[in-house]
Chains A and B, each alone.
Chain A
Amino acid sequence: MTLEASAVTSVVSSIKSGPGRRKRRLPAGIVVVLALMATGLLWAAFAPDGRAADSSASNEQVRLGRALFLAGCSSCHGLSAQGGNQAPSLIGVGGAAVDFQVSTGRMPLAKPQAQAERHKPKYTQTQIDQLAAYISSLAPGPAKPDAATVENQANIAQGGALFRTNCASCHQAIGQGGALSNGKHAPWLGEATSVQIAEAIRTGPESMPVFGDGQLNQQQVASIITYVKFVTNPKDPGGAAIGHYGPVPEGLVAIFVGLGGLVIATLWIGSRFS
């Protein structure tokens, strides 16, 4: 039981306790919140209906968020976010998950499908923060990471090694994404923001596994983000990237451009001049 609690705590603390400015400004408040969360987490896991400790977000934010939730999300996720046949419970998922899903336009979902696709977000960032505040008020979970912390102390080479072990198997070595089973797929990473990448790593949206602070620490996540930012938009010294997908588009170019061009040349050479 204690082990369970400490595991989850470390996930949360890693997000809240980056080397960002906020921590330095309000250390006492954060520490109190974290302590409260740590003790409350066990309850969160086993008592999904229970109200966890109050969050530091203002009640006003929570109230506005609840109104947005009831209007836009409750038809699937239930009136009190308890989940339904079509949608999972949102209790305890945390602000990071809300921010990731809504800011990438994956939620709200127009119709149920194998996997939510990235779209233009339907809510403004203010509204997303309000939704996140409401969901966080139900039960604590990983909070939205601070933009300033996610790119700190990054080491691009280390990020590359971590990326190849943990991420490339689904998202492809150049971050182009790839197929999963039954119509699901790992998305292209080029359009994800640094914060969204951090949120996805920490919360494990949909098929993606979760990477907590015990698996990848804050500095390692920052390194991965730096590498992703590099590799999805690299300088290509060798000319056109032809999709960064490797041998398949290369083969198509070789056959249709290379060989095709040469076959046209043979037609020209073989034709009579008139």
Chain B
Amino acid sequence: MVLVKLYATLRGFTGEKEISMKADTVEDVFSSLVSSYGEDFQKKLESATVLVNGQNIAHLKGRKTRLQDGDTVSLFPPLGGG
């Protein structure tokens, strides 16, 4: 089981902070979320940054990144800070 954490407007969209799910890859997480929250959410996911245990999947294997039990997958829309 992995823990998927949602942040910023992604939270508002889904009404969830955290979702536990079975997933072997990041792609599985995406499929699961899209089937729960629909096409509009899919559009938001396209520009979202995905971290696995704090690391950007762009430095791992992208959506093919394999997940292990206990991993945390964090999803952020494009943010501004200061």
Q: Do A and B originate from a single complex?
A: no
Residues of B within 8 A of A (CB): none
Interface residue ranges, A against B (CB under 8 Å): none
